[in-house]
Amino acid sequence: MKNIKKKMLKYRTPILFVLPAVIFFTVFKIFPILNLFWLSVHQVGRDVGEFVGMQNYIRLFSDEVFWLALKNTTIIVILVVIFGTVFGYFAALLLTEDFKGQKLFRTLFFIPVVTTVSIIAVVWKMMYYPGESGMLNSLLSYLNIPAQQWLADPDIALYALIVPLIWRIIGYNMMIFIAALKGLDQNQLEAARVEGANWWQKLIYIIIPSTKYAINMVLILAVLRTYKVFVPAYVMTSGDPQHRTETIATWIYKQSFRYWDMSYGAALAVVLFLIIMFITVMQKKFQSQ
């Protein structure tokens, strides 16, 4: 006990500096997570706090909307991660070259990242206006293509939702890749050029392997951010039509605050938390091999 007191006195200054962050993290991160697990096994309603065990989790298996939302979210994650990473990487490759207007193009690519998500969702919803006066439908009319019901057609609504998500994440990924590309060994690239390697050979055998750590980081961040997608889906479609754009996050919100079933909403949130944890662990395990 004396040793502990001595150590606390010795490190009292660092402890005092760290303490506010620890308190904040505990109150606003740890406690809500623990409370979430508590809510998922108790019934919050007429009888507040009634223990129901795994009843809310068992209910998941018969919830068709949940499984559809899981499918939709997984499709969103796969497409956003693939296209966002590929387009972001090639944008970084182009914008690391010195040319007139380079900074302007970097800014244009990065503007969606610093723009509020709700504003982006509203703007794209206006662009997807189903009438012939809608921006995208006006462009299609020049190609003699009939107007599309972008967010009202169950067959294309999900993909229409995915496009702005990819558009927004490209700039974020681009900046990470630019930072990685700036650290490339120029002597190695010059040696490859002298040996007669073309651009694609340098890309495949030198550039991509040298920026593998940045690619891994982008993949992890993209999966974590996209699995929690809520604002674009809720603002643009609210999960409609026919739940074809429903995500796990929007279904959690609806259960908790539209149908006032907090317990089931908490169980859904726990499942989402476990899915993200599992994917993160698997990604780290795959990277360590």
Q: Is the pLDDT of residue 128 over 60?
A: yes
pLDDT tens-digit series, residues 79-122: 999 999 999 999 999 988 878 888 898 999 999 999 999 999 99
Higher pLDDT, 130 or 84: 84
Residue type, 73: T
The structure tokens 């057609």 sit at: 153
The band of 42, judged by pLDDT with boundaries at 50, 70 and 90, is confident
Question: What DSSP line would sit under 15-47, residue for residue?
Answer: HHHHHHHHHHHIIIIIHHHHHHHHHHTEE-SSS
Reply yes or no on whether the pLDDT at 284 is more than 80: no
Average confidence (pLDDT) over 47-63:
84
Give pLDDT tens digits for 178-189: 999 988 888 888
Give the mean model confidence (pLDDT) for residues 270-288: 84
Upper half-sphere CA count for residue 272 (Cβ side, 13 Å): 30
Q: How high does pLDDT run on average in the chain?
A: 88
pLDDT of residue 159: 95
Per the model's pLDDT, the better-predicted residue between 288 and 36 turns out to be 36
231-241: pLDDT as tens digits:
999 999 999 88
pLDDT at 83: 96
Q: Which of 277, 267, 271, 272 lies closest to 44 in space, CA to CA?
A: 267
Structure tokens at 26: 């505990």
**% pLDDT > 70, the chain:** 94
Task: Report the share of the chain in percent with pLDDT over 90.
Answer: 46
Per-residue pLDDT band for 47 (boundaries 50, 70, 90) equals low
pLDDT tier, 282 (very low <50, low <70, confident <90, very high otherwise): confident
Structure confidence by residue, pLDDT tens digits, 145-197:
888 899 999 999 999 999 999 999 999 999 999 999 988 888 888 888 888 88
Give, in order, the Cα–Cα distances in Å from 271 to each of 78, 114, 179, 200, 212. Answer: 19, 30, 35, 42, 30
Q: Band the pLDDT of 48: cuts 50, 70, 90.
A: low
Extract the tokens encoding 164: 């702005």
| pLDDT the model gives residue 184 | 84
Give the per-residue pLDDT at 240: 87
Q: Rounded to 5 degrees, what are φ and ψ at 52? A: -120, 5
What's the whole-number mean pLDDT along residues 251-260?
91
Nearest residue to 224 (alpha-carbon basis) of 277, 180, 289, 177: 277
- Can you tell me the distance from the alpha carbon of 231 to that of 248, in angstroms, rounded to the nearest whole number? 12
- What does the pLDDT read at residue 8? 66
Tell me where in the chain the CATH 1.10.3720.10 domain(s) lie: 65-288
Domain 65-288 -> CATH class: mainly alpha
